[in-house]
């Protein structure tokens, strides 16, 4: 096949040289940028995602020991409205409460997943071993929180499904067969 194409439109060396001269003449006035290793060494890497510092929150006054107070660095930067409420001792009887609890748990899982992605991206963008170690520690802590949040989300979803199933079975009258 290639042999046939070469017979159909053969180019001579003179034609090829002429085209190359024309191409170079078009590029004559343009400048190009040459990047050297020295230029690359001067560049500083920046993280792809930067997270702003968390605003300072007032300390709770009802804790007996300071060790029991969670630090602001341990918690992800989540608005107070999206924080997952602690599991209650008695199951809520309102489906709206269960639905809201499940939605908040889902949102919290999504936020922690997003934070994990940002931390991994930051980790892979760093060169300094000390900085990588600090980010890796934050990844580990966030991963544990993410697992807990996923378990809470699953619990909230199962409670909602169980409640809806109970409501459905209570509202359906039994069928008597003779």
Q: Which residue has the tokens 């003779």?
A: 178
Q: Which DSSP string corresponds to 153-165?
A: HHHHHHHHHHHHH
Long-range residue pairs from 69-72, CB within 8 A, at least 24 positions apart, any chain: none
* Mean pLDDT for all residues in the chain: 76
How far apart (Å, rounded) are the C-alpha atoms in residues 128 and 143?
Answer: 22
pLDDT average, residue stretch 60-79: 48
Within 13 A of 124's CA, how many CA atoms are on the CB side? 7
- What is the mean pLDDT of the segment spanning 51-61? 64
Each residue's pLDDT tens digit, 98-129: 888 889 999 999 999 999 999 999 888 888 88
Segment 134-148 mean pLDDT: 91
Of 72-86, 108-122, 156-170, where does the model show the most confidence?
108-122
Question: Mean pLDDT over residues 84-97, rounded?
Answer: 60
Q: Quick one: DSSP state of residue 174?
A: P
Q: Are 31 and 49 in contact (CB under 8 A)?
A: no
pTM, entire model: 0.45
**Torsion sign across C-alpha atoms 133, 136, 142, 148:** negative
Closest to 110 in 3D by CA, of 82, 139, 73: 82
User: Average pLDDT of 134-147?
Assistant: 91
- Domains plus CATH for the chain? 93-165 (1.20.58)
């Amino acid at each position: 096949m290639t042999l046939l194409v070469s017979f159909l439109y053969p180019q001579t060396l003179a034609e090829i040289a002429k085209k190359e001269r024309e191409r170079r003449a078009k590029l004559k006035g343009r400048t190009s940028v040459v990047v050297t290793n020295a230029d690359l060494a001067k560049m500083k890497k920046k993280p792809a995602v930067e997270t702003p510092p968390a605003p300072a929150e007032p300390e709770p006054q009802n804790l007996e020991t300071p060790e029991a107070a969670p630090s602001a660095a341990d918690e992800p930067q989540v608005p107070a409205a999206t924080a997952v409420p602690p599991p209650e001792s008695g199951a809520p009887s309102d489906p709206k409460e269960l639905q809201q609890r499940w939605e908040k748990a889902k949102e919290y899982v999504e936020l922690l997943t997003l934070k994990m992605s940002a931390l991994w991206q930051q980790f892979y963008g760093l060169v300094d071993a000390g900085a990588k170690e600090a980010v890796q520690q934050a990844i580990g802590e966030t991963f544990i929180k993410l697992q807990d949040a996923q378990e809470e989300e699953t619990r909230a979803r199962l409670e909602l499904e169980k409640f809806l199933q109970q409501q459905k079975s209570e509202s359906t009258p039994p069928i008597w067969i003779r």
